[in-house]
Amino acid sequence: MTDTAPAAASPALAARSVTKRFRGVVANDRVDFEVAAGEVHALLGENGAGKTTLCNVLTGLYRPEEGYVEIGGKAVRMHSPHDAHEAGIFMVHQQFRLVQSLSVAENVVLGWTRHGGTWFAPRRVEPEVAALAEQYGMDVAPQAKIWQLSVGEQQRVEILKALYRGARILIMDEPTSVLTPQEVDQLVATLRAMARSGSAVVFISHKLPEVLAVSDRITVLRSGRTVGTVDTAATSAEALAHMMVGRDVVFGDHAAAHHAGGEVVLKLEGLCAENDMGTPALVDVGLDVHAGEILGIAGVAGNGQRELAEVIAGERPRTGGSVTIAGKSQQGRPWEAIDTGLGYVPEDRMGVGVAPGLSITDNLRLKNYRRGGTILRNKKATEEAEELIRRFDIVARGPRTLARELSGGNLQKLIVARELSSGAKVLVVSSPTRGLDVGATESVRTLLADSARRGVAVVLISEDLDEIFELADRIAVLYRGRVTGVLNRGEADVDRIGLMMAGEVAA
């Protein structure tokens, strides 16, 4: 369609010196950002660097206190996301906004009044949706119901929704965190096709290799300010990391020092369980985890990882098999697992890992309050909380701060602090660094590696293969609830694991 070169005149979408404060904290401090038609522009930054705030300003959810947004070179004042949509700006959020029981085509037209009128005729748009999917190389059937689709396919539906509604500027928030390596390749192809056809794509990510692979230009945010914009061709991972954190980051290899081969402290035999819908989610899972090792569990989201973690923690009933922690056979109750020495960092932080309406102190004692008497010792708990806040570098106003006021990274540090300070023998962690910035990711990974070094058996469930390769001594792959293979790290490579994750080969 149009020329692929970024328009020389005015950018498709720009933030000019945007400032936005919350509760006196400056989330965006005179941020400048622009994305041109025909380019994929990555937005990079640590958690709390202000990426989400900036995107919410760009999509009309927040109004900037100072500065303004420009669309096609014209300053605008948007009052709601609706205004942004009319200007062709769409965002694909990490949590999809799809109706599970409706079809792809129905979701695409849902709430969109282009066809006008009261009558809702998704059948009529099916060919149109199919053509759009075809044009951008997306493999998805318009008649399929959302619940039948994989996470990657659901993401394509979100993109289709935006395209169908006339998106000229698409903002993708952390789009790759739920995808297999193969799905990531497809996504990249789609985004490139969009750029070729003259759209502007904003790609938010923490993962440097991905950003380098997909983008034309990169803007880095740090502490609410723009650090700079660079051409992707002229930069490197090290340079970007330096821009993000303001210091040099050493990309560690944490695995080397573990002393694998300790005694078995977590033993799973013939484990079976069902998911929330009552269909089998785990089938005959058997694993031994030794003291001092990190066992990585790889797999695409929804292949039994959540159920595996919950069954070990006693939070989900098993339909067969046995769990043995530190030599003690488990009946399957959460308090029993905690008392036997299981630490568990759940996938969902808010609402499961922590109670959002309670203070940091209360959340830190969530698993050891039982050790005291009937009367709580509030003062002692507060002192212990202060100590943990210091030791684990949790950024908060104080121990009375409510958990819901913490950022994602600090929330995760709180949970990890609680689980590690209780003296666990086995630690099950689910997606421990999802959504965390480079700095917090490094410190969480260091904590995990250190605890393995001190003799804790760590089960690392993660969809991030880089993380598993960085930390794990052994890698087990889950596919449709079965362990399709366990590889030593030395004999594993990304392609092979990726194929196993897709169910193509067994070990």
Partner 1 sequence: MIPFTIRFEPRERLSRWINIWVPVAAIVLALVIAGAVLAVSGHNPFTTYQQIIQAAFTQPGAFTQTLVSTTPLLFTGLAAAVAFRMRIWNIGAEGQLYLGSIAAAGVGLYLQSLPAPIVVLAMMVSGAIAGSLWAAIPGTLRAYFNTNEILTSLFLNYVADYLMYYLIFDSTSFWRDLTSPAARVFPQGKTLAASGNWPALTIFTIAVPLGLIVAVGVSGLLWGMIRGTRYGFEMRVMGDAPRAASHAGMNIRRKIISIMFVSGAVAGLGGASQVGDFRHVLDPRGLEQAQFGYTGIVVAALARYNPISAILAALGIGVLTNAGLALQGPNFPIGLTGTMEGILLFCVLGSEIFARYHVRVHRTRKPLAAHRAGQVRPAAPAAAPVEMALTGGGEQAS
> Which residues of the chain form contacts with partner 1 (CB under 8 A)?
16-17, 22-23, 30, 65-68, 70-72, 74-79, 83, 86-87, 313, 315, 333-339, 344, 346, 348, 351-358, 362, 365-367, 369-370, 372-376, 378
Least distance in angstroms from the C-beta of 350 to partner 1:
8
To partner 1, the closest distance from the beta carbon of 284 in angstroms equals 26
Relative to beta strand 482-488, strand 474-479 is antiparallel
Encoded tokens for 494:
């990304």
Q: Which helix (H) or strand (E) holds 427?
A: strand 426-430
Compute, in degrees rounded to 10, the torsion defined by CA atoms 178, 183, 184, 186.
-140
Helix (H) or strand (E) holding 71: strand 66-71
Nearer to partner 1, 66 or 504 (CB): 66
DSSP state of 165: T
Give the pair of three-digit tokens for residue 25.
């904290």
In 176-224, which ranges are E strands? 200-205, 217-222
Q: How far is the CB of 77 from partner 1 (least distance, A)?
A: 4
Smallest separation (angstroms) from partner 1 to the CB of 18: 9
| Tokens read off for 354 | 């922590």
133 φ, ψ to 5°? -60, -45
Nearest-CA neighbor of 309 among 339, 327, 282, 276? 282
Toward partner 1, which CB reaches closer, 8 or 375?
375
Give the closest residue to 301 by CA, choosing from 281, 271, 321, 317: 281
Given the complex with partner 1, which of 124 and 377 has the nearer CB atom?
A: 377
Neighbours of 144 (CB within 10 A): 14
Name which of 358 and 507 has its Cβ closer to partner 1.
358
Q: What are phi and psi of 461, to 5 degrees?
A: -100, 120
For partner 1, the closer of residues 135 and 378 by Cβ is 378
Residue 174 or 419: the one with the smaller Cβ distance to partner 1 is: 419
Cβ(303)–Cβ(481) below 8 Å: yes
- DSSP state for residue 103 in the 8-state scheme: B
- Separation between Cα atoms, residue 433 and residue 287, nearest integer Å: 24
Question: Quick one: 160 or 345, whose CB is closer to partner 1?
Answer: 345
**Least distance from partner 1 to the Cβ atom of residue 434, Å:** 17
Q: 201, 223, 220, 86: which is closest to 136 by C-alpha?
A: 201
CB of 367 to partner 1, least distance (A): 5
> Residue 7 or residue 141: which is nearer to partner 1 going by CB?
7
Residue 29 C-beta: closest distance to partner 1, Å: 11
The helix or strand, by DSSP H or E, that contains position 58, with its residue range, turns out to be helix 51-58
Q: In this complex, which beta carbon is closest to partner 1, that of residue 249 or of residue 459? A: 459
Closest distance to partner 1 from the beta carbon of 394 (Å): 18
Write phi, then psi, for 364 (nearest 5 degrees): -70, -25
What is the closest distance, in whole angstroms, from the C-beta atom of residue 491 to partner 1 in the complex? 36
